[in-house]
Amino acid sequence: MRCRHAGLEMFGVLDDGRLQLHEGDLFAQPRATGQSIAIDGVEWLPPCRPGKMIALWNNFHAAAAKNGWAVPAEPLYFLKTPNSLAAHGQAIAAPPPGVGRVAYEGELAIVIGRRAKAVGRDAAAAHIFGYSCANDITAIELLQCDPSFPQWTRAKGFDGFGVLGPVIETQFDPASASVRTFVGERERQNYPLADMIFPPHELVARLSQDMTLEPGDVILCGTSIGVLPMKPGTHVEVEIDGIGRLANLYG
């Protein structure tokens, strides 16, 4: 995890409520300092600083079936802008008036740990540093407001619309886990990650054919059924067993 404490940015290994501090490069053999701090009261930061966030659309069989979408032959994706990155516990401001309804999308995030360029599926695991929780917030009415051009970048790129955290879990098996999203403490999403059309290793392999993936880059694996608009003043939480719970106040 990463945090700000006493005015300083810090990172390390979270263990039993304490952050075991490290120094150096998170993705290049960081060194333990031997010091630790309690995480009570620290300001959480996004667990990494992605150079790019790649987000999947239509990557779950259940959502495709419910919406009448064809199963894609290859990953369908867009990019989220760096300004959209937000951390666990950070308040997410509503976009300007007139934007329309805004929806949550609870998702699994892949964090790249080693440069990946044109790697095969069998080699992809070596390039995955770990996994995190994500909320791919979307201004849903902007997507198709101009029939001549779907506005993915604008609808997904407002400040705070790419929430990531609270930690990167390096020992996680997505095959047996589920994503649950709670809005105002009411469960709105609960879907198995095993239902992915393109699972994590295949996503890394296929996307690395299109572009070089760098350490710290993030791939959002897409969402499934249960996406709905949320009202300002709503607490939204994305939970994945084995990783943790990402919580934010929207609006």
Total number of domains in the chain: 2
Pairing of strands 218-220, 53-57: parallel
Strand partners of residue 142 = none
Note whether 127 and 166 are same-domain residues: yes
Note whether 108 and 218 are same-domain residues: yes
Tokens of 67: 């919406």
Note whether 123 and 138 are same-domain residues: yes
For residue 109, how many C-alpha atoms fall within 13 Å in the half-sphere facing its CB? 36
Rounded to whole angstroms, the Cα distance separating 204 from 126 reads 10
Find the largest Cα–Cα distance for the chain.
57
Q: For the chain, give the mean pLDDT.
A: 97
Rounded to whole angstroms, the Cα distance separating 46 from 9 reads 11
Rounded to whole angstroms, the Cα distance separating 117 from 60 reads 25
Nearest of 198, 219, 205, 73 to residue 126 by alpha carbon? 205
- Which residues form the domain of 23? 1-45
In this predicted model, what pLDDT tens digit does every residue of 108-139 receive, in sequence order? 999 999 999 999 999 999 999 999 999 999 99
Note whether 13 and 116 are same-domain residues: no
Note whether 187 and 229 are same-domain residues: yes
Distances (CA, A) of 130 to 54, 172, 200: 16, 7, 11
Note whether 41 and 114 are same-domain residues: no
Note whether 152 and 213 are same-domain residues: yes
For residues 151 and 143, the answer to whether their CB atoms sit within 8 Å is yes
The residue to which tokens 């501090």 are assigned: 21
- State residue 87's pLDDT score: 98
Note whether 37 and 65 are same-domain residues: no
Residue by residue, pLDDT tens for the chain (251 residues) are 999 999 999 999 999 999 999 999 999 999 999 999 999 999 999 999 999 999 999 999 999 999 999 999 999 999 999 999 999 999 999 999 999 999 999 999 999 999 999 999 999 999 999 999 999 999 999 999 999 999 999 999 999 999 999 999 999 999 999 999 999 999 999 999 999 999 999 999 999 999 999 999 999 999 999 999 999 999 999 999 999 999 999 99
Note whether 41 and 52 are same-domain residues: no
DSSP string of the chain, one letter each residue? -EEEETTEEEEEEEETTEEEEEES-TTS--EEEEEEEE-TT-EEE-SS--S-EEEEES-BHHHHHHHTPPPPSS-EEEEE-GGGEEETT--BPPPPTTS--EE--EEEEEEE-S-BSS--GGGGGGGEEEEEEEEE-EETTTTTSSTTS--HHHHH-STT-EEEEEEEESS--GGG-EEEEEETTEEEEEEEGGGBSS-HHHHHHHHHHHS-B-TT-EEE----S---B--TTEEEEEEETTTEEEEEEE-
Note whether 146 and 160 are same-domain residues: yes
Rounded to whole angstroms, the Cα distance separating 240 from 185 reads 15
- State residue 206's pLDDT score: 98
Note whether 109 and 186 are same-domain residues: yes
CATH code (residue 111): 3.90.850.10
pTM: 0.97
Strand partners of residue 102 = 139
Note whether 40 and 58 are same-domain residues: no
